[in-house]
Amino acid sequence: METARIAQILSEMGTLLEVRGENPFRCRAYHNAAQTLKGLPSDLSEMIADGRLAETPGIGTTMFSKIVQLATTGHLPAYDDLRRATPPGLVALLRVPGLGPKKIKVLHDELKIESLADLRVAGEAKMIAPLKGFGAKTEQKILDGISFVESVGDRILQSKARRLVAPILEAIRQHPLVLRAEVCGSLRRRAETIGDLDILFSAENPVPVLDHFVKLPEVATVLAHGPTKASVRIADGVQCDLRGVEDSQFPFALHYFTGSKAHNIAIRRRALAHGYSLNEYSLSGEKGSVACKTEADLFAALGLAYIPPELREDVGEIEAAEKGPLPPLVELSDLTGTFHCHTDWSDGQATLEEMAQAAQSLGLTYLGIADHSRSAGYAGGLSIERVRQQWAAIDALNETFGGKFRIFKGTECDILGDGSLDYPDEILDGFDYVVASVHSSFGMPRDEMTARIVRAAANPRVTMLGHPTGRLLLARDAYAVDVDAVIEAAAKAGTMIEINASPHRLDLDDIHCRRAKAQGVTIVVNPDAHSTGGLADLDYGVGVARRAGLGVADLFNSAPLAKVAEALERRRKARH
Partner DNA sequence: GCCGTTTTCGGCCCGACTGTTTTCAGTCG
Q: Does the protein bind DNA through residue 99 (CB under 7 A)?
A: yes
Helix (H) / strand (E) containing 346: none
| x/- track of binding to DNA for residues 176-215 (CB under 7 A) | ---------x---------xx-x-----------------
Cβ 198 to DNA shortest distance, Å: 6
Cβ 100 to DNA shortest distance, Å: 2
Which of 87, 89, 97, 316 contacts DNA by CB under 7 A?
97
Q: Does the protein bind DNA through residue 29 (CB under 7 A)?
A: yes
Distances (CA, A) of 426 to 130, 429, 477, 501, 570: 78, 5, 35, 30, 17
Total residues found in the chain within this entry: 576
**Piece in contact with DNA (CB under 7 A), picked from 273-281, 498-506, 538-546, 564-572:** 273-281
b/e per residue, 249-259, with b = 16+ CB within 10 A? bbbbbbbbbbb
Residue 279 or residue 294: which is nearer to DNA going by CB?
279
SS (H, E, C) 89-131: CHHHHCCCCCCCHHHHHHHHHHHCCCCHHHHHHHHHCCCCCCC
Q: Kindly tell me the number of DSSP H helices and DSSP E strands found in the chain.
A: 25, 17
∠38-42-43 over CA atoms, to 5°? Answer: 85
Q: Does the protein bind DNA through residue 77 (CB under 7 A)?
A: no
Tell me the sheet residues that pair with 181. 201
Q: Where are the alpha helices (DSSP H) in 444-495?
A: 446-458, 483-493
Task: Compute how many residues bind DNA; rule: CB under 7 A.
Answer: 61
Which of 9, 30, 416, 455 contacts DNA by CB under 7 A?
30
- CA atoms of 231 and 244, how far apart (whole Å): 12
Q: Does the protein bind DNA through residue 129 (CB under 7 A)?
A: yes
Q: Does the protein bind DNA through residue 125 (CB under 7 A)?
A: no
Cβ 329 to DNA shortest distance, Å: 24
Q: Does the protein bind DNA through residue 23 (CB under 7 A)?
A: yes
Cβ 365 to DNA shortest distance, Å: 41
- CA atoms of 111 and 125, how far apart (whole Å): 12
Q: Does the protein bind DNA through residue 26 (CB under 7 A)?
A: yes
SS3 413: strand
Task: Sort 145 into a burial class: Cβ within 10 Å, 0-12 / 13-18 / 19+.
Answer: buried
Residue 277 or residue 333: which is nearer to DNA going by CB?
277
Cβ 543 to DNA shortest distance, Å: 20
Cβ 226 to DNA shortest distance, Å: 2
Distances (CA, A) of 24 to 15, 17, 19, 71, 278: 10, 8, 10, 26, 22
Which of 227, 303, 327, 560 contacts DNA by CB under 7 A?
227
- CA atoms of 328 and 551, how far apart (whole Å): 6
Q: Does the protein bind DNA through residue 441 (CB under 7 A)?
A: no
Q: Does the protein bind DNA through residue 328 (CB under 7 A)?
A: no
- CA atoms of 177 and 109, how far apart (whole Å): 49
DSSP letters, 353-387, are HHHHHHHHHTT-SEEEEEEE-TT-GGGTPPPHHHH
Cβ 193 to DNA shortest distance, Å: 14
Which of 151, 273, 399, 573 contacts DNA by CB under 7 A?
273
- CA atoms of 184 and 177, how far apart (whole Å): 20
39 and 105 Cβ atoms separated by less than 8 Å: no
Q: Does the protein bind DNA through residue 33 (CB under 7 A)?
A: yes
Q: Does the protein bind DNA through residue 39 (CB under 7 A)?
A: no
Which of 16, 44, 47, 59 contacts DNA by CB under 7 A?
59
**Piece in contact with DNA (CB under 7 A), picked from 138-146, 324-332, 386-394, 520-528:** 138-146
Q: Does the protein bind DNA through residue 134 (CB under 7 A)?
A: yes
- Is the Cα dihedral 91, 92, 94, 95 positive or negative? positive
Which of 73, 147, 277, 333 contacts DNA by CB under 7 A?
277
Residue 142 or residue 350: which is nearer to DNA going by CB?
142
514 and 546 Cβ atoms separated by less than 8 Å: no
Residue 92 or residue 567: which is nearer to DNA going by CB?
92
Residues 376-395 that bind DNA (CB under 7 A): none
Task: Sort 213 into a burial class: Cβ within 10 Å, 0-12 / 13-18 / 19+.
Answer: buried
Q: Does the protein bind DNA through residue 139 (CB under 7 A)?
A: yes
Which of 42, 45, 62, 420 contacts DNA by CB under 7 A?
62
Residues near DNA (CB under 7 A): 23, 25-26, 29-30, 33, 57-64, 78, 94, 96-104, 129, 132-139, 141, 185, 195-196, 198, 224-230, 239, 241, 257, 261, 264-265, 268-269, 272-273, 277-281
